Amino acid sequence: MSPIISVSHLSKVYGSGFRALNNINLDIRRGEIFALLGPNGAGKTTLISIICGIANPSEGSVAIDGHDIIKSYRAARSLIGLVPQELHTDSFETVWATVSFSRGLFGKPKNPAYVEKVLKDLSLWEKKDSKIITLSGGMKRRVMIAKALSHEPQILFLDEPTAGVDVELRKGMWEVVRTLRDAGVTIILTTHYIEEAEEMADRIGVINRGEIILVEDKAKLMDKLGKKQLKLHLAHKIDAVPPALAHYHLVLSEGGTELIYDYDTAGERTGITSLLGDLRNAGIRFSDLETSQSSLEDIFVSLVRAP
């Protein structure tokens, strides 16, 4: 199946000479949730702005479902709904008016039933006649999502959708996103919260200093880079790891009361059983043990830090 968004050789140089994007190539698959991760200033928002028509590209091209974003901007933009990072809303208009305005702006005929459904899905129906200025931050965020969905887009961009949103609401937002994906909408989200990408995304792209440094299925990424760690709290302090256990590459820490064993989840054999056996043979007893898996956050940090 052809990609729904195809970015090729895209670069963006600002008037100041700052190169915000450098030769970006990226395909977004139809119907997926794609998470774009990157530190502040990496180029996430610039990339989205260009795709949505808010900024002009310096070089390269973007096609939305085969429509070039510049030559066929009408066809391209009709397919996209955008929820920007900042809370940019009208103030004195009602929720209903602002969402209906967005629908009109995108050239869609009136459809009160659809707008009603969008507002209900986002728990905004009771507020439909309220002025936007009277709403809380979380509600304003949802109003912006409602505006983006008002014209029945096939692609939804969510730029930092849960920044500054409380935990409860964030979970609610994830639910909305999943419902949309189930309805066939392709979703591209940028986020600072790694757990968000880990929780939601089908695929993950990492952008740093204007370049895409990695695009991978989330599961594969976790597999490929995921490491597990076994921590043993020792009953008695030891001074050194016995030579008989050298091949496990154990690390002694916490002043000799803790042994750390790194192993690969992808491997058939983790080596845990034999390690525990060898420990007993060496006369080392432990009082407790715990295992932990490296999170996407660790993976991300190691990628971005790499020179």
Partner 1 sequence: MNYRAIRAIYLFEMARTWRTLLQSIVSPVVSTSLYFVVFGAAIGSRITEVEGVSYGTFIVPGLVMLSVLTQSIANASFGIYFPKFVGTIYEILSAPISYVEIIVGYVGAAASKSIILGLIILATAALFVPLHIKHPIWMLTFLVLTAVTFSLFGFIIGIWADGFEKLQMIPMLVVTPLTFLGGSFYSVNMLPSGWHTIALLNPVVYLISGFRWSFYEIADVGVGLSLGMTLGFLVICMAIVWWIFRTGYRLKH
Binding residues for partner 1, per CB under 8 A?
Answer: 14-15, 49, 52-56, 73-78, 80, 82, 84, 86, 88-93, 97, 100-109, 147
C-beta of 15 vs 243, nearer to partner 1: 15
- Cβ-contact 58, 22 below 8 angstroms: no
Least separation in angstroms between residue 106's CB and partner 1 is: 6
- The nearer residue to partner 1, 66 or 104, going by C-beta atoms, is 104
The token duo for 12 is 């963006």
Q: Name the residue type at position 288.
A: D
Residues 6+ apart with CB under 8 A from 246: none
Least gap, CB of 105 to partner 1 (angstroms) = 4
Nearer to partner 1, 41 or 104 (CB): 104
Q: How far is CA 223 from CA 195, 216, 264, 294, in A?
A: 16, 11, 9, 10
The CB-of-96 to partner 1 minimum distance in angstroms stands at 12
Residue 115 or 232: which CB sits closer to partner 1? 115
Could you give the 3-state DSSP secondary structure of residue 15?
coil
187: β partners: 33, 156
Match 């929720």 to its residue by tokens.
95
CB of 192 to partner 1, least distance (A): 20
Residue among 58 and 123 whose Cβ is closer to partner 1: 58
* 176 contacts 131 by C-beta, under 8 angstroms: no
Nearest residue (CB) to partner 1, 97 versus 238: 97
Amino acid at 161: P
Which residue in the block uniquely carries the two structure tokens 């964030």? 170
Separation between Cα atoms, residue 251 and residue 238, nearest integer Å:
12
Minimum Å gap between C-beta 153 and partner 1 is 11
Report the residue number, 161 or 226, with the smaller CB distance to partner 1.
Answer: 161
Query: Sign (positive/negative) of CA torsion 296, 298, 303, 304?
Result: positive
The minimum distance between CB 208 and partner 1, in angstroms, equals 21
The rounded radius of gyration (Å) of the Cα atoms in the chain is: 25
Cross-strand partners of 217: 203
Check if the beta carbon of residue 259 is closer than 8 Å to that of residue 234.
yes
Q: Residue 149 or residue 250: which is nearer to partner 1 going by CB? A: 149
**Whether 266 contacts 223, CB under 8 Å:** yes
Closest separation in Å from C-beta 299 to partner 1: 32
Minimum CB distance to partner 1, residue 32 (Å): 21
Do residues 94 and 146 make contact, with C-beta atoms less than 8 angstroms apart?
A: no
For residue 288, the surrounding DSSP H or E stretch is: strand 286-293
